[in-house]
Every structure is written in C-alpha cells, then in structure tokens.
Amino acid sequence: MSDSRPYPRILVSRIDGETHGIVEKPLTAIEYIFNLKWLRKLSILFILALVWELYARWLDNALLFPTFSETLLALFENAASGVLLVRAWASIQMLLAGYAIGIALAGILTFLAVSTRIGSDFLDTMTSIFNPLPAIALLPLAMTWFGLGLGSLIFVLVHSVLWTVALNTHSGFRAVSNTLRMVGRNCSLSGLRLVCMILIPAALPSILTGLKIGWAFAWRTLIAAELVFGVSSGRGGLGWFIYERKNLLDIPDVFAGLLTVIIVGLVVENLIFRKIEEKTVHRWGMQQ
Amino acid sequence: MTTPLLSVSGVTLQYKTKEHLVTATYRVDFEVSRSDRFILLGPSGCGKSTLLKAVGGYLKPTEGAISLNGKQIATPGPDRMMVFQEFDQLLPWKTVKENVIFALEASRKMRGAAAREKAADAIAKVGLSRFADSYPHMLSGGMKQRVAIARGMAMEPDILLMDEPFAALDALTRRKMQDELLALWEETKFTVLFVTHSIGEAIKIGSRILLLSPHPGRVKACIEDIPYDIAPADAAALEKEIHTMLFAEQIEEAEHV
C-alpha cells in the first residue's frame, strides 16, 4: 500500500556566508544624541528659561513678573540663609506625619476588607464617598473642629492619603491571581501571613501607584492648606512662606517658593518612587 | 493489597456559580497507592480539575470522603504539593531559588542553610542550576513549569498533584517535559496524581488511568498496569480504545439532544 504513495522529499538549502548586508551597525553621533531623552527634556527647560528671561526683561516689572535670573538668585539666597530649607523641612515633616497615619489607617481598612465581606463593602462605600471630595474642601470644617494648628493639617492630610491608598491597595489585592493564593495556601499560609507574604508583594505595583498618588495629593493639599493658615506653634511651611512673601511684595521670593514646591515634588516622585520601582516591580518584571 | 495512600470514596463535588449550582463530579471512587503515576483523564467538564483541587484541600466534598494515609483531608497542606497549569504560579518577586526556598520556609519544613541546599538540589534535578538566580519573568514557559515541579519535589510531599502542567506549552516542549518527568520519577518513584485531557499524554505518563465522563464527572473506566515503556503499537491501540470510549458517549449525547 505504502509503495504507491510518494515519500516526502527534503530539499536542504545552502546558506552562504557574507551576502546578507548589514546585520548591526552603530548609529551616527547625531542620531545617538537625539535619542537621549534627558537631553531633549533639558533643552526644553533651557528654552523655557530663556523665554521667561527675555519676556520679564521686556516687561521690566519685578513686582508682577521677575526675571528668571532674579528668581534663581532669590532661590539661592533663601536657600543659603536657610529660610527656605527650614520652611521646606517643616512642610515635609508635617506631610510625613499625615502620610504615615493615612497609610496605617489604609492598611487596617484594607486588611478588614480582604478578610471580611462587610469590610470590603464598607471600604468600597467609603472610598466612593470620599474619593471625589478634595481633601482641602474639608479644611474649613477641620478648622472649626481642631482649631488653627497641627490637628487640622493632619486631618486634611490623612484624608488626602487614606482613600487613594486604600482603594489602590484593595484593588491590587483583588487582582492577585487565584493561582498565587492557592500556592500560598499550599504552603500552609493563611490570614496575616498570607497577606504579608503573598498578597502585598503580588499587589505591589498597584500599592506603589496608590502611594504615589497619595503622596501627590498630600503635597498639593498641604501647600494649599498652609496658604490659608500656615503658622502652627510659630513654624510655617512652604505655603506660608509664599503667602508671607507675597504680602511683603517680595515677588522673586514667591517664585523661589513655588520653585521649591516643584523641586520637592519632582525629587520625591522621580527620584524616590522611581528608585523604589526600579528595585522592585521593574526588576521582577511585574511592570515595565 | 497494601492500604492505599490516597483514597477517594463516593465523592460528589458541587460548586456555585452566580446563577447555578454545578455538580462537577458524582460519587467518584478511586484509590492511589504509593509510587503510582495516577492519571485523571477526561474531556472538559468532567470535573477532573475540581477533583484534584478537592484532593488539594481547596474544596470540600458535598458527599463522600477523601483521605490521605487514613487521615481526612480538610485544608490545603504541604503534604500535597500542587503544580498548576498557569505560568504565574511562581512568585514573580522571588528568584528561581528563592521560590523553592520560600515554599520550604513558609511551610516551616526547613530553614536556613538546609533549605538553601535542598532548593539547589531540586533545581539541579530539573536542570536549571544556571538559572537559579534568575527571576521568573526571564524564563520560558517550560522553564517556569520545571521550577514549579522542582518546588513541588523539594517539599517531598506524600503525593504530587499536577493540574495539566504541560497544557500551556508548545508541542515540542511538552514532549520533552513529559520525558523529563518520567526520568525524575525513575529516580525517586514519587507518587503523582496527574490531570490531563490528552489521551496520548495520559498513556505516556500514567501507570494507571481513571477515565471520567462529563456532566457530571463519573468514573467510566479504570486502566491498570500500563507498562513504563509501553510499546508504540500498544500505545496507539490503547489510545484508539480510550478515544472510542470517550467518542461513543458524545454520539449518544448528540442523539439525545
């Protein structure tokens, strides 16, 4: 039977040596330079600073719009005299306190949410109520409750951190694959051990996102709150510095204060959080 | 006959979806002895994976009993290590070696240097020593499954539960993995309960096959004493016979519709 059917034929093709042209060749210097992202961004910043300087010089009114060089000078002067650093540190200290309390509360709420169904419903409801509400809108209320001082600031800070962190952590936990949970239970993990050893690391990408958003909210909320009332027990933060200098009509200092707010935000978001991400979720291939 | 290692008697499994109460298996009986390569084979919907999860302790039977070494199974435990089909069964934040060590330490079986040594040993057995410090996302699918097998074997469970571990692999890798699993079994003669929907895989790997029929899963046949190195002609004949058994059911079902 088989002899009537043809056997498949194999035709082996010969691969000759160097006939396929370029396989790999370095880019030209210009292409290489243009591929550097930081260099492109730096040139944008440079052009913006130049435009600022030229416009302010043309306007020639330091009360309305100081030049870039005046602003830089004010920044260095205030930094050198230590005023700006003290004020920035006061803000950051306040922020860290509120941030830590907010995260701790978020942790408790999320743990309740993963362990009981009613806890999960509670968290869902609370986050839907408070997430759309800007924390700063609670400041008038906080001031009547806690007075002008530490309590009010902490109250709005906790609000700005708590709900985003809890929401992101909880949705991160829910997204952990069933297989991973089963692997954990297979190794006799349950309760808090399962949460700490499986759920938290597995949900780290969205936990970090929550922490980042929470930080950004808190920073903006704090500066805004300090503009309303900055001094608590004789120490004002960056927001108060801006407000104070505006009242003294020292506009270059106001700009220097604003720049400091931006710089602190950038450092935390792009250095600290970026580093944490590189060391964790990027390294583990959980996020690109 | 010696007492069985695992005994499943009259097990009915039911689970609830949003709208239905589904009966996955109905009064299934079987016994697994030490060093068996026991296969649960059947088409999709025969409850073979659900049955394996019940043996794993993730699911309580509605009726009947499952016991290991004479002790009723109530919760998941390291005496029944499970290898899943999904590639995400490895912890992505731990390296290959750490994944194995994690299982040993989390279950409090071993710690420190002993765990590290055991893990290195298990990884060497599946031929991944070179990748011991790689993270799972750098590995291919076949390598990830090898790590999961290494993790399971390092725990030295009473029985290794495998839920279609090679189903998501490409055909060439799957064949290689089957050979490797058999070679590993030759070395230590561990007991394995293996779920598959591939008849060929069942015959190649199994020493005993339990054939399940779908909707709900019931025992249709049990095939015993499959030789370790089954002759290709015998394997083909057996495959055809099993195929007919499964296929006959489908025609009957079609006629009832």
Determine the distance from the C-alpha atom of residue A224 to the mean position of all C-alpha atoms in its chain, rounded to a whole number. Answer: 18
Give the gap in angstroms from C-alpha A287 to the nearest C-alpha of chain B. 11
Find, in chain A, the residue whose alpha carbon is nearest to that of B135. A284
pLDDT of residue B43: 85
Find, in chain B, the residue whose alpha carbon is nearest to that of A284. B93
How many other CB atoms are found less than 10 A from the CB of residue B77? 18
Q: Give residue-wise pLDDT tens across range A35-88.
A: 888 888 899 999 999 999 999 999 988 888 899 999 999 999 999 998 889 989
Cβ atoms A239, A223 nearer than 8 A: yes
Residue B257: pLDDT band by 50, 70, 90 thresholds?
very low
Whether A1 has a pLDDT exceeding 60, the answer reads no
**What whole-number distance in Å separates Cα of residue B93 and Cα of residue B114?**
22
Say yes or no: B43 contacts chain A, CB-CB below 8 A. no
Residue B31: strand pairing partners: B7
Interface test with B, best of A183, A200, A279, A280 (most B CBs within 10 A): A183
Of A232 and B238, which is predicted with more confidence? B238
**What whole-number distance in Å separates Cα of residue A170 and Cα of residue A123?**
9
How many other CB atoms are found less than 10 A from the CB of residue A226? 24
End-to-end C-alpha distance for chain B, whole angstroms: 44
Residue B95 φ/ψ, nearest 5 degrees: -75, 175
Say yes or no: B182 contacts chain A, CB-CB below 8 A. no
**What whole-number distance in Å separates Cα of residue B221 and Cα of residue B178?**
23
Whether A19 has a pLDDT exceeding 70, the answer reads no
Q: Which of these ranges, A67-71, A267-271, B243-247, has the smallest mean pLDDT?
A: B243-247
CA angle A143/A147/A149 to nearest 5° reads 100
Whether A99 has a pLDDT exceeding 80, the answer reads yes
Inspect the interface and report whether the beta carbons of B77 and A204 lie closer than 8 Å: no
Of 1.10.3720.10, 1.20.1530.20, 3.40.50.2300, 3.40.190.10, which CATH number belongs to A67-279? 1.10.3720.10
Q: Give residue-wise pLDDT tens across range B225-235.
A: 888 888 888 88
Q: Give residue-wise pLDDT tens across range A106-122.
A: 999 999 998 889 999 99
Say yes or no: A285 contacts chain B, CB-CB below 8 A. yes
Q: What is the mean pLDDT of chain A?
A: 88
Of A214 and B219, which is predicted with more confidence? A214
Residue A248 φ/ψ, nearest 5 degrees: -85, 5
B 69-88 residues inside an 8 A Cβ radius of A: 75-78, 80-82, 84, 86, 88
How many other CB atoms are found less than 10 A from the CB of residue B36? 21
Q: Out of B92, B103, B135, name the one closest to residue A187 (CB).
A: B103
Highest mean pLDDT among A214-218, A229-233, B40-44, B59-63: A214-218
Report the percent of chain B where pLDDT is more than 70: 96
Residues of A in contact with B75 (CB under 8 A): 185, 188
Half-sphere exposure of B32 (CA within 13 A, CB side): 29
Residues of A in contact with B144 (CB under 8 A): none
Inspect the interface and report whether the beta carbons of B107 and A187 lie closer than 8 Å: yes
Predicted structure pTM score: 0.82
Inspect the interface and report whether the beta carbons of B136 and A285 lie closer than 8 Å: yes
**What whole-number distance in Å separates Cα of residue A118 and Cα of residue A258?**
44
pLDDT of residue A188: 87
Whether A154 has a pLDDT exceeding 60, the answer reads yes
pLDDT of residue A15: 75
Inspect the interface and report whether the beta carbons of B135 and A285 lie closer than 8 Å: yes
Cβ atoms A229, A143 nearer than 8 A: yes
Inspect the interface and report whether the beta carbons of A286 and B137 lie closer than 8 Å: yes
Q: Which ipTM was obtained for this model?
A: 0.88
Inspect the interface and report whether the beta carbons of A187 and B106 lie closer than 8 Å: yes
pLDDT of residue B93: 94
Cβ atoms A127, A167 nearer than 8 A: yes
Find, in chain A, the residue whose alpha carbon is nearest to that of B59. A182
**What whole-number distance in Å separates Cα of residue B243 and Cα of residue B237?**
10
Of B189 and A148, which is predicted with more confidence? B189
Residues of A in contact with B56 (CB under 8 A): 182, 186
Residue A50: strand pairing partners: none
Of A263 and B253, which is predicted with more confidence? A263
Say yes or no: A194 contacts chain B, CB-CB below 8 A. no
**What whole-number distance in Å separates Cα of residue B121 and Cα of residue A69?**
66
Helix-strand-coil percent breakdown of chain B, rounded to 5?
40, 25, 35
Say yes or no: A40 contacts chain B, CB-CB below 8 A. no
Inspect the interface and report whether the beta carbons of A186 and B135 lie closer than 8 Å: no
Beta sheet of B21-32, edge-to-edge order: B21-32, B6-16, B63-68, B71-72
Closest CA to B123 of B108, B109, B137, B136: B136
Residues of A in contact with B107 (CB under 8 A): 187-188
Say yes or no: B92 contacts chain A, CB-CB below 8 A. yes
Q: What is the mean pLDDT of chain B?
A: 87
pLDDT of residue A3: 60
Residue B21: strand pairing partners: B16
- Can you tell me the mean pLDDT for B87-111? 91
pLDDT of residue A230: 60
Q: Give residue-wise pLDDT tens across range B203-214.
A: 989 999 998 888
